Every structure is written in C-alpha cells, then in structure tokens.
Amino acid sequence: MPISVDELAECVRGFVRETVLPAEYACDGVLHDGPEDLRRRLQQAARDAGIFAPHVAPEWGGAGLDLRGQAVVFEAAGYSLLGPLALNIAAPDEGNMHLLAKVADDRQRRRYLAPLAAGDVRSCFAMTEPAPGAGSDPRALATTATRVPGGWRIDGRKWFISGADGAAFAICMARTSGAPGDPGGATMFLVDAGNPGMEIVRNIATLDEGLFGGHSEIAFHACEVGDDAVLGEVDRGFDYAQVRLGPARLTHCMRWLGIARRAQDVALDRAASRSAFGRPLAELGMVQQLIADSEIDIEAARALVWRACTELDEGRPGAQHTSIAKTFAAEAVHRVVDRAVQICGALGVSADAPLSRLYREVRPFRIYDGPSETHRWAIARRAVKARAALR
C-alpha cells in the first residue's frame, strides 16, 4: 500500500532529527566546498529510509508527488540545511529534474535526468550574467549561441551559478536570435562539464554558505556542442524557463519554511527555559507578540504557497500567486528568524545556537529567484491589467 503524504512527511521529520541534524552540526552547515562523501552518505541513508527523491516520477525512482505533496515533505526536509540535499530535492538539481522531465527528449532524459534523479551526479542552471547581462530581467541575456557545422558555439559569461562546482552538466541559456532586451530568442543547451569551452573562473564568496557547491562564475568561450545538446526547441528558452522557475520558486519557499519552523522552535524553547525579571520569557508580553507574529507569518506563507501549488497542479496559470507567495514567504521567513534571534538575545547571535547561521542563509532569499522588488512590479502590472480587462 502506497505511503501517504503525511506519513512520508513524518518519516522525513524523524530522519532529519536523527540523521541529518547531527551531520549539519558536525560541519556547521558550511557546504559551499562540496564535501562529496557527506552528500553520498546522507543520500544513501535517505534511500535506505525510503524517502529519497520523492518529487520525481516512479519511473525515475521517486514517489511522483505533486506540488501540494511536495509542499508538506519539502518543508519537513528544510528543517535542516542538509535535509534537502539528503533527499535530493535541493536547488538547483530539483528544478533541473522538473525541467528535464517536462522538456527533454527520451535520449536526454536517459542521459541527464536518470543519473540526476538517482543522485549519481549534480547539475547547475546557467542563466544569470554579470551586468549588463541577464539578471532580474532575463531579456538582457547576452550570452550567444552561433550555428557551426554540426551544432553550436556558445560564447559568454555567467555568474552566481549555484552548484556549478562539481556539477556534471549545465543547462545554459544562450541567445540564438535577436539582441539583449528582446523578449524572445533564447535557447537552452545541455553542456557537459568536461567541455573544454566551459570553465569555472571562480567560486564567489557569499553571505550564505549552505548551498552545496556554492555559487560560481563560468566562462563559455568557443564552447561547441552538437545539435543534440539543444533542450527543447531553438528560440523557446524563455518559455522553458517559466516551466522551471515557477515551481522552483515555490519549492524554495517550501524548504525555507522549514528553516523558519526550526528558528521558531529554537525561540520557543528559549522563551520557555530562560527567565528575566522573575518570570519566564514566554510570559512577557513583548516576547509573546514576537512569538505570535512569527506563527502568523509561518501559517500565512504556508497558505500562500499551497494556493499557488494548487493552481499549478490543476494546470491553471499560476504566475501571479507564485510571485505573491515567493515575495511574502521570502520576507516572512526572514522576519521569523530575526525575531528568534531577538528572543534568544546574545545566544541568538552566537555560534552556540543555529540562528546566526540560519540568518545568513535566509537573507539572500529576498534576492534569489527574483528580488522582491521585481516580483512586486510584476504583481502590480498583472493586477492593473486584470482590472482594466473588466472595464
């Protein structure tokens, strides 16, 4: 009998508590150096527990969870910084699996999706570029792919490419027609790490340290690939990016909600055990307000994620509610962690509690997958357009 989503989530909670959290404490949550033995050990433990890669289809070894199911399980895994890595649901691999399942042909699925879903390899998604290239505005894409005999030559520079160090392949966005600023003309290419035209220039030091493989700058110089490296159709890369980015924004929210829940638990334990002015902190009105506001933020963010997941699961356009969920969750998670630090006082900013580490991890979330300002701009435009259509 298949296990239910709730049962799977409960298994994940126990696995995170008993296996993953001790491993996180041992490495202090610092993963940008990519300790491959740790990844493989945790993923094997997840396989043994029957909770590995629950998001992929059964034919690729998973449970085939829809987004609503993922929301429950991914939050449970996100309670530890290493939880998503252990279950093989961490970014960018999780988003790349979704993209490959939707867009790749059968040969590409066997070559790239199968080993990625099995945890045999890692991957990266190379879209963001140094200014004035693609960033918050993907239409600024400047990397080019030019026709050559038997395939394409890719030239350009990417940066802040998550997980690139040690990845077996990249999904590279390059312009095959038009000019930077044009709304179309992008194509996705599958580029193997051994390609001599693709070079990791440097690993970028960042505020967050918990993403496996860190964030890298990559140079593509006369990088030649065959026609079989084209993912999907030529000039439809921006369309395929939406296939990946919408769900990926939500799965980011799911995982970070796990971090928020953990920070709130730390704060609750501290408020119950620490006394000041003759009373436990939990009985002080100002502390109660901080606790209550964090509970509200967590529940509201979870509800917004669930609504956006429902729309996408039902095949409806979900761009508006995905942007709303991402913007609210990114800011709500930060508020929850910040309040937890405040409740814990000196302990909160010390290395004796996980909060300072969690704080560093969640702050960039307001930039990753689109800054809050960009999402607010898009949300407002859609609202104005929808209202105008009713006049």
Measured over the CA atoms of residue 7, residue 13, residue 17 and residue 23, the dihedral's sign is positive
Split at pLDDT 50, 70, 90, the class of 7 is very high
Distance in angstroms (rounded) separating the CA atoms of residues 373 and 29: 29
Instruction: Report the 10 Å Cβ neighbour count for 297.
Output: 22
How far apart (Å, rounded) are the C-alpha atoms in residues 112 and 346?
47
Q: Are 86 and 157 in contact (CB under 8 A)?
A: no
Residue 77 tokens, joined: 């895994």
Asked if 145 and 189 touch (Cβ cutoff 8 Å), the reply is yes
Backbone angles phi, psi at 222, to 5 degrees: 50, 45
List the domains of the chain with CATH numbers: 5-90 (1.10.540.10), 123-235 (2.40.110.10), 239-389 (1.20.140.10)
Pick from 50, 56, 57: nearest CA to 9: 50
pLDDT, mean of residues 216-225? 98
Q: What is the pTM of this model?
A: 0.95
Model confidence band, residue 378 (pLDDT cutoffs 50, 70, 90): very high
Residues in the chain: 391
pLDDT at residue 1 is higher than 60: no
In terms of phi and psi (left: phi > 0; alpha: psi -120 to 50; beta: otherwise), the region of 166 is left
- Alpha-carbon dihedral sign for residues 285, 288, 294, 296: negative
Query: Confidence band (pLDDT; 50, 70, 90) for 29?
Result: confident
Q: What is the pLDDT of residues 277-326, one digit of tens each?
A: 999 999 999 999 999 999 999 999 999 999 999 999 999 989 999 999 99
368 Cβ partners below 8 Å, 6+ apart? Answer: 252
Burial class (CB within 10 angstroms; exposed 0-12, middle 13-18, buried 19+) of 183: exposed
The three-state secondary structure class of 154 is: strand
- The average pLDDT across 330-351 equals 97
Paired with 153 in beta bridges are 146, 224
Judge whether residue 358 has pLDDT over 90: yes
Instruction: Give me the mean pLDDT over the 118-147 stretch.
Output: 96
Comparing 34 with 359, the larger pLDDT belongs to: 359
Our CA angle for 301, 304, 305, nearest 5°, is 85
pLDDT at 33 over 90: no
Strand extents, DSSP E, the chain: 123-126, 144-148, 151-162, 169-175, 186-192, 198-203, 215-226, 230-231, 275-276, 279-280
* Half-sphere exposure (Cβ direction) of 345: Cα atoms closer than 13 Å: 7
Instruction: Give the pLDDT confidence score for residue 210 in this predicted structure.
Output: 86
> At a CB cut-off of 8 Å and minimum separation 6, what does 306 contact?
68, 71
Q: Tens digits of per-residue pLDDT, 239-282?
A: 999 999 899 999 999 999 999 999 999 999 999 999 999 999 99
Question: How do residues 104-117 score in pLDDT, each as one tens digit?
Answer: 999 999 999 999 99
pLDDT for 28 equals 80
Torsion sign (Cα): 158, 35, 206, 20: positive
Confidence of residue 198 (pLDDT cuts 50, 70, 90): very high
Task: Spell out the residues 6+ positions from residue 118 whose beta carbon is closer than 8 angstroms to its own.
Answer: 53, 60, 61
User: How far, in whole angstroms, is CA 136 from its chain's centroid?
Assistant: 16
Looking at the chain, the whole-number percentage of residues with pLDDT higher than 70 is: 99
pLDDT at 32: 65
pLDDT, mean over the chain? 96
For residue 175, count CB atoms less than 10 angstroms from its CB and return exposed for 0-12, middle for 13-18, buried for 19 or more: buried
Predicted local confidence at residue 200, as pLDDT: 97
Rounded to 5 degrees, φ, ψ at 205 are: -70, 130
